[in-house]
Amino acid sequence: MKNNYKVSISLWTLTVKEIRRFLRIWVQTLVPPAVTMSLYFVIFGSLIGPRIGSMDGFDYIQYMIPGLIMLSVITNSYNNVVSSFYGVKFQKSIEELLISPMPNWSILLGFVLGGVCRGVLIGCIVFGVSLIFYPDFTVVNPFLTIIVLFLTSILFSLMGFINAVYADSFDDISIIPTFVLTPLIYLGGVFYSINILPDIWRSISMFNPMLYVVNTFREGMLGVSDVSILFSLGMICAFIVILTGACLYFLRKGTGIRQ
């Protein structure tokens, strides 16, 4: 019991440290998504959007909002954990955690909670920005929206953790977000419904995992989706379980952190 209490304090300490880290550098972490998304809403929503017309029966700017929120949540959750965990490896302050009595699951959870907090906070900021451009937006299914928001943050925080475990240089922590994550998100239905694609591209898109995340979130916010929601939720949860197992295995083996 006493040990559990100590573990909860150490977990709280690490989580607060992680939150304090991204809040301290808010100009680099919180402001850029708000600025970038404002530009998306201005250019694709207000200027080009009316010419595109409706998408799945919604104004184009309205259709884009869930996708852009997910885009921001995914990249920020991922980047938070990958840069923070690689940072502690690089500065050797990972030793502070390894020497301490904190169990591995608690170390992992602390970093993931940091990523989730940033992802969710960014999601709220982008949603706030979107309301400036589309004040009449109403969320159809708040419960599903919040669930997907948190599950997505957890999933991509775990992916960021694995990237950081294997990273040996700052290049290694930017390769996957730039060349894998971002293209998959952009092609995962952020700006369009896959129903407008030719059959072959629609079939190929079904192999893009981002499509399921974006569309499940869109189902929560707008009530429309290109994919099965239960299947998507099941896959997200399954990947969270698999990646958690992998992260704990890497921590136990000391991959990338112990000699």
Partner 1 sequence: MTYALEILDLKKTYSGGTVALKGISLSVQEGDFYALLGPNGAGKSSTIGIIGSLVTKSSGQVKIFGEDIDLNAAEAKSMLGVVSQEINFSQFEKVIDIVTTQAGFYGIRKSDAVPKVEDILKKLSLWDKRNDQARTLSGGYKRRLMIAKALVHDPKLLILDEPTAGVDIELRRDMWTFLKEINKNGTTIILTTHYLEEAEQLCRNIGIIDKGVIVANTNMKDLLGTLNVQGFIFDLHKPLDAAPNIDGFPLRLEDPLTLVAAVNKDRSINSLFEELSKLDIKIKSMRNESNRLEELFIEMVNSNEK
Closest CA to 195 of 219, 223, 225: 225
Q: How many residues bind partner 1 (CB under 8 A)?
A: 29
Task: Report the residue number, 7 or 34, with the smaller CB distance to partner 1.
Answer: 7
Please give the residues from 4 up to 63 whose contact with partner 1 meets the rule CB under 8 A: 5-7, 9-10, 12-14, 17
Among 54, 91, 169, 203, binds partner 1 (CB under 8 A): 91
- Judged by phi (left if over 0) then psi (alpha if -120 to 50, else beta), residue 5 lies in alpha
Phi/psi at 55 (5° precision): -130, 120
92 binds partner 1 (CB under 8 A): yes
- Provide the CB-side half-sphere exposure for 259 (13 A, CA): 2
Q: Is 1 in the site for partner 1 (CB under 8 A)?
A: no
179-185 long-range contacts, Cβ below 8 Å, gap at least 24? 181/74, 181/75, 181/78, 182/75, 184/208, 184/209, 184/210, 185/70, 185/71, 185/74, 185/75, 185/210, 185/214
* Per-residue interface string for the shown chain with partner 1, residues 94-133, x marking contact by CB under 8 A: xxxxxxxxxx------------------------------
Which residues lie below 8 Å from residue 200, measured CB to CB, with a gap of 6+? none
Give least dist CB 103 to partner 1, A.
Answer: 7
Residue list 199-258, contact with partner 1 (CB under 8 A):
253-254, 258
CB of 139 to partner 1, least distance (A): 37
Closer residue to partner 1 (CB): 7 or 235: 7
Which parts of this chain interact with partner 1 (CB under 8 A)?
3, 5-7, 9-10, 12-14, 17, 87-88, 91-103, 253-254, 258-259
